[in-house]
Chain A
Amino acid sequence: MEKRILKDDNDRVDGILKVTGQAKYFAEYELPGLTYGVLVTSTITKGKITALDTKAAEKAPGVIAVVSHLNKPSAAAYEQEGGPQMKIFYTDKIFYNGQPIAIVVANTFERATYAASLVKATYVKEDFNTDFEKALKDPKAKKLQGQADYKRGIENAYKTAEVKLEERYFLPIETHNPMELHGIIADWRPNNQLTVYAKTQGVKATQGTIANVFKIPMENIQVNSEFVGGGFGMALRTWPLEIATVMASKHIGKPVKVVITRMQMFTMVGNRPAAIQTIGLGANKDGKLTGITHRAYGETSTYENFTEGVVNMAKFMYQCDNVNTAYAIVPVDLGVPIWMRGPGEATGAFALESAIDEMAHALDMDPLDFRIKNDPETDQQKNKPFSSKNIKEAYKIGAEKIGWSNRKNKPGSLIEGSWQTGYGVSVGVFNANRGKASVKGILKADGSLLLQSATSDIGPGTGTGMTLIANKLMKIPVNKITFELGDSSLPPAPSQGGSATLSTVGSAVNDVCVALKSAIAELAANSNMDATANFVDVLKKNNLPSIEVTKESQGGKERDNYSMYSFSIHFVQVKVHALTGVVKVSKIVYVGDSGTIVSPKTARSQMLGGAVGGIGMALTEESIVDHRYGRYINNNFADYHVPVNADVPEIDVNFINKPDPYINPMGAKGMGEIALIGFSAAVANAVFNATGKRIRTLPITPDKILA
């Protein structure tokens, strides 16, 4: 990485590189002899390819090869029976509309694009269904258990409660749509040597998947992914299109680059699955919860099952002796989903946190008081104390900042002209994870520290966080610390997902720094130097240009003794236009309770990004399929509405910033997911408070307000 110029110790270490265009993303690598691949996709939704006419494409100018199931190179794993995933080019079956069926490689992208349009497939079509709601209603359609049923106390206790409610909540498909398009560069060389430039949340995972598919040793594969232009979960696996690119490179013996189109972003790299959920809540008249039931159905594909933690939150978030959950997945003829920021918890929290608000209303209680009244001291699911939890304090801070006292408990009370004002609150909660990672530290006599780990940075600022951890421990200025990542040859680290990178890799950085310090102290002692001597002097005195330590780090039994979660309280103010149904989020206050804040600026950015994603989920984002054809209708940035600046108000980000005593040496819990989880419910709750209308189907577009 180039030398960095930092305004203050808090700036992103790669900020300058990014804004000046020096940061290099996968698609920007120019390899000698680079060729360009474009994917041909199925235009039917289900059936079989009976013929594939590639002649015209092969004859088109600049075309090097067309690779498909007819002529693919060997991928050893795909030659075996079984295996859960779609085996690209090893099947003539069509599982969904837009499935890649061939790749055309040419000497320019434009020529490959044109030639791809000349490939003609003939199919036998089969009946299909892409409509998740229809599948759910169809008794003949498959439903698979997504998670073991959970029961604590009496099942469906809400039904006999003094005050009860049962409501259904609907979520559409959402598509991650990071700015950067997906793709890969694959360079397969003789003797099964492979280098890839990928857009991935895990270089080791990509390396492992490719090694598995082609049955070549991990060491033969070098994966580079230094900068990633956003992932939000969609780069947490190696997609068929990437395997197709590797096959193409293997087939022609040249490097191949594929960058998919925005339209293909809707069909080739997953989405947040649609979900239908029912929440049953029971309470006594004093406002104590007596029963919680959360049943959820999530969409999946026919060729692969996808499950996520939709019903997790109901099990521990509120004090309640009777809780039961169930979660099933329903296959439809669409591409397989994947985790999207906040993953299943965000889906579940929309339902649960809306229902909690509905119950408060049924009890004629302030929803904040209701939440506080039912806040548990210990985790009833795991039967363990929380490692740390300060959410009552967070509720208080947030309420003050948003001006909760201006809120009227009676909906529709605040009216100014055509605009109605409302306030809403909700909670985001996610597992505070800590996995296993290794980091190498090289402390040099020039006063610098180099840290290396095969982790990723999809944008949160991994390098910045790690640098600040080392800076604090080593007292080395941040501009003398370099953190290298995104390279599979570095010490292993898990993929960047589940809000775990800072906790996992940061702990290894911590351990490396501690080890380096004691190595220096030992050297100092051996050379009769003061224990406080500067490491530069110590190294010089010992004639050492550098010393090097590699540490593997992971959590211990504290993880068995405590329940570890990260929390965020979201407060929003909305304005709803009574005549046109337009909803504007007019103010957002976040209070994050996620342990020590290691890197204040990037931590704040996590919350800002969560708000933008949350506004999208609440108000604008929906991927629409025409079920008659199984094709997406709004698969572009004009029609799939990601929030724009004008949709995003002032966001007031606050942190409790108290260390968690058990999670890891920094006392820091993850932050990637919490800002988004539950946010959509805060908006829906505020809309209800403004208008008296309860919207249980996202996104809350003007038509739903007017209905």
Chain B
Amino acid sequence: MINFQYLRTTTAKSAIALLVKDKNAKFLAGGTNLIDLMKRGVTAPEKLIDINHVPLKQIEQIGNKIHIGALASNSAVAEHALIKEKLPLLSWALQAGASAQLRNVATVGGNMMQRTRCGYFYDTEMPCNKRQPGTGCGAMGGFNRMHAIFGTSEKCIAVHPSDMCVALTALDAEVVLANAKGERKMLFKDFHRLAGDTPQLDNNLKANEMIIRLEIPVNNLAKNYHYLKVRDRASYAFALVSVAAAFELNNNKITDIRLAMGGVAHKPWRLTASENFLKGKEATLSNFEQAAQLAMKDAKGFGGNDFKLKLAPNTIIEALNLAKSKV
């Protein structure tokens, strides 16, 4: 087998120290993505730094923000009373992802860092600019039914597969990152990036950094919300398109609204134009339909995924409908 060293640490500080010491080291959290990638030969770290014993599993409210540690498991977050009460959209999005077994070990940080599910990325015999820059994009002109319609580049049309991240983007979350010198904060929506000319990079985390926690502002969006995930089977499948929708309603008038989409871009896709359109308007079907059309500006299909041009706006409308009728 391809040998690697396994290290375990109990503090974020020492984890980061181990990381920077070695160019070819990687954090091991739940391992549900990393181990698969190692088995398929997509990645071959020489050192695995097991961070599961680093005490970053907290889920708590501090001031008007909810803090979630990077090592909290996807199930722990989804099932936590605080999250269910104050951020139900996040709970729903998490429950829509993967399977119960996977969610039990998958972590918040790992979920953010999970790589695309593009089949060409996983098959080392196929061209893929993300896995091996310069080899070409297999999905372009190939099987691209699952692929992006927004913000694509000539080099890569992959999507970020996470459900959790769609909700976090909608919820104006912030993410706290740390390197050996200290911490920095970033808007969650800026964490992931578009592929551009460097599809090998999924996000803006630096090579010497670790994800520490999320901070999510408490909001008034816990009443009218919905996470709608359209997929090829009823559970345990990645999204064709998903929509996180939440709004605050006063006399049927929308006073605050958040909309984000998954399965459509290299990053969770916030629908700012649609939000702006709906803000201050009545929650009516015709307004929802117009908002959905606004979201589709600049969308582009690649053959296999052309159906998303219709599915995406439909899913937005239905998510808004379901958020509105939530009791």
Which residues does A use to contact B, with CB under 8 Å? 43, 110-111, 113-114, 117, 418, 577, 579-582, 584, 619-620, 624, 626, 628-629, 631, 633-634, 636, 638-639, 641, 643-647, 701-703, 706-707
Instruction: Kindly identify which residue among A110, A626, A633, A645 contacts B235, using a CB–CB cutoff of 8 Å.
Output: A645
**Could you tell me the distance in whole angstroms from the C-beta of A60 to the nearest C-beta in chain B?**
10
State whether B1 touches A579 (Cβ < 8 A).
no
Q: Complex: how many Å from CA A638 to CA B315?
A: 23
Point out the residues of chain A lying under 8 angstroms from B143, CB to CB: 624, 626, 633-634
**25 chain-A/chain-B pairs, Cβ below 8 angstroms:** A43-B125, A110-B1, A113-B1, A114-B2, A418-B318, A577-B318, A579-B317, A580-B315, A580-B318, A584-B234, A628-B141, A631-B125, A633-B120, A636-B122, A638-B238, A639-B119, A641-B232, A641-B233, A641-B237, A643-B233, A644-B234, A645-B235, A646-B233, A646-B235, A647-B235
Cα A631 to Cα B314 with chains together (Å) = 33
Chain B residue with the shortest CB-CB distance to A648: B234
Residues of chain B within 8 A (CB-CB) of A580 are 228, 230, 311, 314-315, 318
B315 with A647: CB separation less than 8 A? no
| Bound Cα distance A703, B232 (Å) | 9
A631 and B126 within 8 A (CB): yes
Known: A43-B125, A628-B142. A579 touches B314 (CB 8 A): yes
Shortest Cβ distance from B325 into A: residue: A417
A373 to B304, CA, bound (A): 42
In the complex, how many angstroms separate the beta carbon of A614 from the nearest chain B beta carbon?
A: 14
B185 at the interface (CB under 8 A from A): no
Query: B23 within 8 Å of A by Cβ?
Result: no
Q: Cβ of B133 < 8 Å from any Cβ of A?
A: no
- Bound CA–CA A352/B22 (angstroms): 63
Which among B1, B138, B240, B311 is the interface contact of A626 at CB below 8 angstroms?
A: B138
- Which chain B residues lie closer than 8 Å to A579 at the CB level? 314-315, 317-318
Q: Please name all residues of chain B whose beta carbon is closer than 8 Å to the beta carbon of A584 when the two chains form the complex.
A: 234
Query: With the chains together, A647 CA to B232 CA distance in Å?
Result: 10
Inter-chain contacts of A706 with B (CB < 8 A): 307, 310-311, 314
- Asked if B311 contacts A703 (CB within 8 A), the reply is yes
Say whether A620 contacts B233, CB under 8 Å: yes
Please judge, given known A-B contacts A117-B41, A626-B138, whether A703 and B145 are in contact too, CB under 8 Å. yes
Interface residues of B (CB under 8 A from A): 1-2, 41, 117, 119-120, 122-123, 125-126, 138, 141-143, 145, 228, 230, 232-238, 240, 307, 310-311, 314-315, 317-318, 321
B235 to A, closest residue via Cβ: A646
Given known contacts A580-B315, A628-B141, A646-B235, what 5 new A-B pairs fall within 8 Å (CB)?
A: A418-B321, A620-B232, A633-B123, A643-B233, A646-B233
Distance between B318 CB and nearest chain A CB, rounded to angstroms: 5
CA A440 to CA B145, docked complex, whole Å: 56
**Inter-subunit contact B126/A702 (CB<8 Å):** no
Of all chain B residues, which has the CB nearest A109? B1
Known contacts: A113-B1, A580-B318, A644-B235. The answer to whether A702 contacts B240 by CB under 8 A is yes
Residue of A nearest to B120 (CB): A633
The distance in angstroms between the C-alpha atoms of A189 and B232, with both chains bound, is: 49
B236 (CB) vs chain A CBs: closest residue: A644
Q: Which of A579, A620, A644 has its CB near the most chain B CB atoms (within 10 A)?
A: A579
Among the interface residues A633, A706, A707, which one has the most CB atoms of the partner chain B within 10 A?
Answer: A633
Task: Please state if A702 and B232 are interface contacts (CB–CB under 8 Å).
Answer: yes
* 8 Å CB contact of A647 from B2, B230, B234: B234
* Closest A residue to B102 using CB positions: A638
Alpha-carbon separation in the docked complex, A582 to B237 (Å): 13
Q: When chains A and B are docked, how far (Å) is the Cα of A579 from the Cα of B320?
A: 12
B-side contacts of A110, CB under 8 Å: 1
A631 B123 Cβ-Cβ under 8 A: yes
User: Given A117, A626, A701, which contacts B142 in the complex, CB threshold below 8 Å?
Assistant: A626
Residue numbers in A under 8 Å from B321 (CB-CB): 418
Q: Which 4 A-B pairs have the closest CB atoms?
A: A646-B234, A703-B307, A633-B119, A579-B314
Give, as a whole number of angstroms, the nearest-CB distance from B125 to chain A. Answer: 5
Most buried by A among B122, B126, B143, B233: B233
Question: Which B residues lie within 8 Å of A639 (CB)?
Answer: 117, 119
Q: B residues within 8 A CB of A701?
A: 232
CB of B144, distance to nearest CB on chain A (Å) = 10
**Shortest Cβ distance from residue A98 to the other chain B in the assembled complex, whole angstroms:** 10
Option from B1, B41, B311 in Cβ contact (under 8 Å) with A581: B311
Chain B min CB distance to A193 (Å)? 33
Smallest CB separation, A149 vs chain B (Å): 36
Residues of chain A within 8 A of B117, CB atoms compared:
638-639
B residues less than 8 Å from A638 (CB atoms): 117, 236-238
- CB proximity of A568 to chain B, nearest CB, Å: 24
CB distance from A439 to the nearest CB of B (A): 42
Shortest beta-carbon distance, B278 to chain A, in Å? 18
**A620 and B236 alpha carbons, distance in the complex (Å):** 12
Report Cα–Cα, A639/B315, bound state, in Å.
22
A417 to chain B, nearest CB (A): 8
Residue from the list B142, B233, B317 in contact with A644, Cβ < 8 A: B233
Residue of B nearest to A584 (CB): B234
Question: In the bound complex, how far is the Cα of B38 from the Cα of A114, in angstroms?
Answer: 12
The answer to whether B1 and A114 touch across the interface, beta carbons within 8 angstroms, is yes
B186 nearest CB across to chain A (Å): 29
Taken together as a complex, chains A and B put the C-alpha atoms of A580 and B122 apart, in Å, by 28
Task: Specify which chain B residues have a CB less than 8 angstroms from the CB of A582 in the assembled complex.
Answer: 230
B236 to chain A, nearest CB (A): 5
Q: Which residues of A contact B120 (CB under 8 A)?
A: 633
A577 CA / B318 CA spacing, docked (Å)? 10
Nearest to B145 among chain A residues (CB) is A703
Evaluate whether A629 and B318 lie within 8 angstroms (CB atoms) in the complex, with A582-B230, A644-B234 already known. Answer: no
Q: Nearest-CB distance from A112 to chain B (Å)?
A: 9
**How long is the Cα–Cα vector from A624 to B145 in the complex, in angstroms?**
11
Contact of A707 with B233 at beta-carbon distance under 8 Å, contacts A114-B2, A418-B318 already known: no
A43: nearest residue on chain B (CB-CB)? Answer: B125
Who on chain A is nearest to B99 by CB?
A644
| Complex alpha-carbon distance, A580 and B141, angstroms | 25
CA distance A110 to B142 in the complex (A): 33
CA distance A358 to B78 in the complex (A): 46
Which residues from chain B contact A629 at a C-beta distance below 8 Å?
125-126, 138
Q: Contacts of A117 on B, CB cut-off 8 Å?
A: 41
Q: Closest CB of chain A to B191's CB: distance in Å?
A: 24
Which residues of the partner chain A approach B237 to less than 8 Å between Cβ atoms? 638, 641
B129 to chain A, nearest CB (A): 16
Q: Least Cβ distance of A539 to chain B in Å? A: 53
User: Which of chain B's residues has its CB closest to A647's CB?
Assistant: B234
CA of A624 to CA of B138 in the docked complex: distance in angstroms? 14
A631 CA / B310 CA spacing, docked (Å): 29
Q: Which residue of A lies closest to B309 (CB)?
A: A706
Say yes or no: A702-B311 contact (C-beta < 8 A), given A579-B318, A634-B119: yes
Most chain B beta-carbon neighbours within 10 Å: one of A110, A703, A706: A703
With A and B bound together, what is the CA distance between A631 and B110 in angstroms? Answer: 30
The distance in angstroms between the C-alpha atoms of A496 and B122, with both chains bound, is: 36
Q: CA of A619 to CA of B231 in the docked complex: distance in angstroms?
A: 11
How long is the Cα–Cα vector from A702 to B234 in the complex, in angstroms? 12
Q: State A646–B143 Cα separation when bound (angstroms).
A: 27
**How long is the Cα–Cα vector from A187 to B119 in the complex, in angstroms?**
37
